[in-house]
Amino acid sequence: MSEKVMHVGDADFEAVVLGSQEPVLVDFWAPWCGPCKAIGPIVDQLADSYDGKARVVKVDIEKFPTLGVKYNIRSIPMLLMFKDGQVHSSQMGAPPNIKTILTQMIDKAL
Protein backbone atom coordinates (compact mmCIF):
# COMPACT_ATOMS: atom_id res chain seq x y z
CA MET A 1 0.00 0.00 0.00
CA SER A 2 1.19 3.49 -0.82
CA GLU A 3 2.22 5.72 2.07
CA LYS A 4 0.51 8.54 0.19
CA VAL A 5 -2.96 7.03 0.75
CA MET A 6 -4.55 8.29 3.95
CA HIS A 7 -7.16 6.30 5.82
CA VAL A 8 -9.80 8.66 7.19
CA GLY A 9 -12.97 8.33 9.23
CA ASP A 10 -15.64 10.32 10.99
CA ALA A 11 -13.20 12.37 13.08
CA ASP A 12 -10.97 13.63 10.26
CA PHE A 13 -13.04 13.38 7.05
CA GLU A 14 -14.14 17.00 7.14
CA ALA A 15 -10.62 18.38 7.69
CA VAL A 16 -8.82 16.02 5.30
CA VAL A 17 -11.38 15.84 2.48
CA LEU A 18 -13.83 18.73 2.64
CA GLY A 19 -11.24 21.24 3.85
CA SER A 20 -8.56 20.26 1.35
CA GLN A 21 -7.13 22.87 -1.01
CA GLU A 22 -6.38 20.03 -3.44
CA PRO A 23 -8.93 17.76 -5.13
CA VAL A 24 -9.44 14.53 -3.15
CA LEU A 25 -10.25 11.07 -4.51
CA VAL A 26 -12.09 9.09 -1.81
CA ASP A 27 -12.24 5.31 -2.10
CA PHE A 28 -15.16 3.92 -0.07
CA TRP A 29 -14.31 0.26 0.52
CA ALA A 30 -14.47 -2.68 2.95
CA PRO A 31 -11.91 -5.38 3.77
CA TRP A 32 -14.20 -8.20 2.54
CA CYS A 33 -14.85 -6.58 -0.86
CA GLY A 34 -13.06 -8.43 -3.67
CA PRO A 35 -13.35 -5.66 -6.31
CA CYS A 36 -12.12 -3.15 -3.67
CA LYS A 37 -8.99 -5.26 -3.15
CA ALA A 38 -8.55 -5.60 -6.93
CA ILE A 39 -8.43 -1.83 -7.49
CA GLY A 40 -6.35 -1.15 -4.36
CA PRO A 41 -2.99 -1.20 -6.20
CA ILE A 42 -4.37 1.19 -8.86
CA VAL A 43 -5.59 3.60 -6.17
CA ASP A 44 -2.12 3.41 -4.58
CA GLN A 45 -0.42 4.16 -7.93
CA LEU A 46 -2.64 7.20 -8.43
CA ALA A 47 -1.78 8.47 -4.94
CA ASP A 48 1.90 8.31 -5.87
CA SER A 49 1.40 9.79 -9.36
CA TYR A 50 -0.64 12.76 -8.16
CA ASP A 51 1.29 13.44 -4.95
CA GLY A 52 1.36 17.21 -4.41
CA LYS A 53 -1.50 17.81 -6.87
CA ALA A 54 -4.37 15.71 -5.48
CA ARG A 55 -5.00 13.63 -2.38
CA VAL A 56 -6.15 10.03 -2.28
CA VAL A 57 -7.93 8.74 0.82
CA LYS A 58 -9.76 5.57 1.80
CA VAL A 59 -12.81 5.19 4.01
CA ASP A 60 -13.61 1.75 5.42
CA ILE A 61 -17.42 1.81 5.41
CA GLU A 62 -17.57 -1.00 7.95
CA LYS A 63 -15.72 1.12 10.50
CA PHE A 64 -17.39 4.40 9.48
CA PRO A 65 -20.92 3.58 8.25
CA THR A 66 -22.16 7.12 8.88
CA LEU A 67 -19.92 8.41 6.07
CA GLY A 68 -21.33 5.73 3.78
CA VAL A 69 -24.85 6.86 4.63
CA LYS A 70 -24.00 10.55 4.29
CA TYR A 71 -22.64 10.04 0.76
CA ASN A 72 -25.32 7.51 -0.23
CA ILE A 73 -22.87 4.65 -0.76
CA ARG A 74 -25.04 1.70 -1.77
CA SER A 75 -22.41 -0.42 -3.49
CA ILE A 76 -18.63 -0.66 -3.20
CA PRO A 77 -16.12 0.10 -4.42
CA MET A 78 -17.41 3.64 -4.79
CA LEU A 79 -14.97 6.40 -5.59
CA LEU A 80 -15.93 10.04 -5.17
CA MET A 81 -13.84 12.93 -6.44
CA PHE A 82 -14.15 15.96 -4.17
CA LYS A 83 -13.22 19.47 -5.21
CA ASP A 84 -13.74 22.53 -3.00
CA GLY A 85 -15.61 20.40 -0.46
CA GLN A 86 -18.18 19.13 -2.98
CA VAL A 87 -18.56 15.88 -4.89
CA HIS A 88 -17.19 16.61 -8.36
CA SER A 89 -17.59 13.16 -9.96
CA SER A 90 -18.05 9.51 -9.02
CA GLN A 91 -17.29 5.99 -10.14
CA MET A 92 -19.07 2.90 -8.86
CA GLY A 93 -17.62 -0.56 -9.29
CA ALA A 94 -14.35 -1.76 -10.78
CA PRO A 95 -14.55 -1.94 -14.60
CA PRO A 96 -11.47 -3.19 -16.50
CA ASN A 97 -10.52 0.39 -17.48
CA ILE A 98 -10.73 1.73 -13.90
CA LYS A 99 -7.26 3.32 -14.00
CA THR A 100 -8.19 5.37 -17.07
CA ILE A 101 -11.52 6.40 -15.53
CA LEU A 102 -9.95 7.48 -12.24
CA THR A 103 -7.12 9.31 -14.01
CA GLN A 104 -9.69 11.27 -16.03
CA MET A 105 -11.68 12.06 -12.86
CA ILE A 106 -8.60 13.46 -11.13
CA ASP A 107 -7.42 15.37 -14.22
CA LYS A 108 -10.83 17.02 -14.64
CA ALA A 109 -10.78 18.14 -11.01
CA LEU A 110 -7.30 19.68 -11.22
pLDDT tens by residue, 92-104: 999 999 999 999 9
Q: Please give the class, per CATH, of domain 6-109.
A: alpha beta
Q: Give 3's pLDDT tier (boundaries 50, 70, 90).
A: confident
Q: What is the DSSP letter of 8?
A: -
Q: Which of 61, 57, 109 is nearest to 86 (CA)?
A: 109
Alpha-carbon distance of 51 to 96, in angstroms, equals 24
pLDDT given for residue 2 in this prediction:
66
pLDDT given for residue 1 in this prediction:
58
Alpha-carbon distance of 65 to 2, in angstroms, equals 24
Q: Which residue numbers are catalytic? A: 33, 36
Q: What is the DSSP string of 39-107?
A: HHHHHHHHHHHTTTT-EEEEEETTT-HHHHHHTT--SSSEEEEEETTEEEEEEES--TTHHHHHHHHHH
Residue 64: half-sphere exposure toward Cβ, Cα within 13 Å: 19
Alpha-carbon distance of 102 to 91, in angstroms, equals 8
pLDDT tens, 6-63?
999 999 999 999 999 999 999 999 999 999 999 999 999 999 999 999 999 999 999 9
pTM: 0.96
